[in-house]
Amino acid sequence: AQSVAQPEDQVNVAEGNPLTVKCTYSVSGNPYLFWYVQYPNRGLQFLLKYITGDNLVKGSYGFEAEFNKSQTSFHLKKPSALVSDSALYFCAVRAYNNNDMRFGAGTRLTVKP
């Protein structure tokens, strides 16, 4: 069965600095990988996905993610963080042959002015 690990519960960065939120995955076969963001008292919003092709995927709000097959990682990145990026971020994985999506425990990102 597929699974996701987000090794950091909390990430703190200063506004304007680059940010990285880490995710590693385990799945049989080719993975389908997703990042979601959750703002307070809201549901999850889809940010970006990796299906196949280019290892660098661009998504909403200036976020991007880098797929690394050898390290089974899919880290979320942004070149310059904004205070408004402060939220809870979830990584998710799905195997190619089913609809069962597995979510990580989430990483809380705090961007300080």
Q: How buried is 81 (Cβ within 10 angstroms: 0-12 exposed, 13-18 middle, 19+ buried)?
A: buried
Closest separation between CB of residue 104 and another protein, Å?
Answer: 6
Nearer to another protein, 48 or 111 (CB): 48
Cβ atoms 76, 67 nearer than 8 A: no
Which tokens in the block code for residue 2?
Answer: 């597929």
Span 63-92, contacts to another protein by CB under 8 A: 90
* Binding residue (CB under 8 A) for another protein from 45, 60, 68, 80: 45
Element (H, E) at 36: strand 31-38
Residues at the interface with another protein (CB under 8 A): 9, 32, 34, 36, 41-46, 49, 51, 90, 94-101, 103-106
